[in-house]
Amino acid sequence: MKGEFHFNLKRRVASVKDSSLLTKIPHFKADTFIVSRSKIRLLPSLQTIEKEIHMALERTLILIKPDAMQRRLAGSLLSRFENKGLKIIGLKLLQVTKELSAEHYAEHVTKPFYPLLEEFITSGPVVAIVAEGPEAVSTVRLMMGSTNGRESAPGTIRGDYGVSRQMNLVHGSDGPEAAVREIKIYFKPEELVDYATSLGEWVCADDEK
């Protein structure tokens, strides 16, 4: 079943095993059926759907890092993501352990800066957030700004609040695959809450969801 797409016209919903690819398909013409990922490429009428699935609803992991917690900025930063129109579907306060740090920052553990990064990220509590929205991964990265606060554009979180490369307030997954991996590290599936918001209709159009 892995990799199969499920479409249901009545509910105007297309779903796949990987819930990060959940999306709505408003113009879809059939009732309900299942098609494999390989076959979907052979059916021209479905190519649009596949494209929409890949550019549609995403989930991303955000961390409000220990520096932002010490500076009591958690509420302000969470507000930025809410105000942007992203939906919060996971939220918790936790202490990052050395083991969790190594799992999260696996790509950096062998780098010279890793000991300092580990010391920093384990130095106090963080708030872990799963945010959902159209192209949420790149949206959050744009909102964060570049790694070094001194080089981040004004208007971004790091550009507005920080002057440091290490104490840069927030983490955001750097791609859709990283997001799926990182969300699994910080959240059990049952800790993510899937819900509709009445304002959702006013956040973006049907063909963007």
Residue listed under structure tokens 């095993």 = 17
Window 122 to 161, contacts with Mg ion (CB under 5 A): none
Q: Between residues 174 and 208, which has the closer beta carbon with respect to ligand RTP? A: 174
Name the minimum Å distance from CB 101 to Mg ion. 13
- The answer to whether residues 6 and 49 touch, using CB atoms and an 8 Å cutoff, is no
Helices (H) then strands (E): counts for the chain: 9, 7
Q: CB under 5 to 8 A by kind: which of Mg ion, ligand RTP, none does 142 bind?
A: none
Q: Between residues 174 and 208, which has the closer beta carbon with respect to Mg ion? A: 174
Q: Between residues 4 and 174, which has the closer beta carbon with respect to ligand RTP? A: 174
Please enumerate in sequence order all residues whose Cβ is within 8 A of that of 78, keeping only pairs 6 or more positions apart, or say none: 64, 88, 127, 129
Q: CB under 5 to 8 A by kind: which of Mg ion, ligand RTP, none does 147 bind?
A: ligand RTP
Which listed residue (27, 104, 108, 171) is catalytic? Answer: 171
Residue listed under structure tokens 């920080």 = 162
Name the minimum Å distance from CB 66 to ligand RTP. 11
171 a catalytic residue: yes
Name the minimum Å distance from CB 104 to Mg ion. 9
Q: What is d(CA 39, CA 46) in angstroms, rounded to the nearest whole number?
A: 9
Q: Residue 62: how many CB atoms within 10 A of its CB?
A: 30
State the residues that interact with ligand RTP by CB under 6 A: 108, 113, 117, 147, 165-166, 168, 171-172, 174
Name the minimum Å distance from CB 20 to ligand RTP. 18
87-119: b or e for each residue (b if 16 or more CB lie within 10 Å)? bbbbbeeeebeeebbebbbeeeeeeeeeeeebe
Residues that bind Mg ion (CB under 5 A): 174
Which residues are known to be catalytic?
Answer: 171
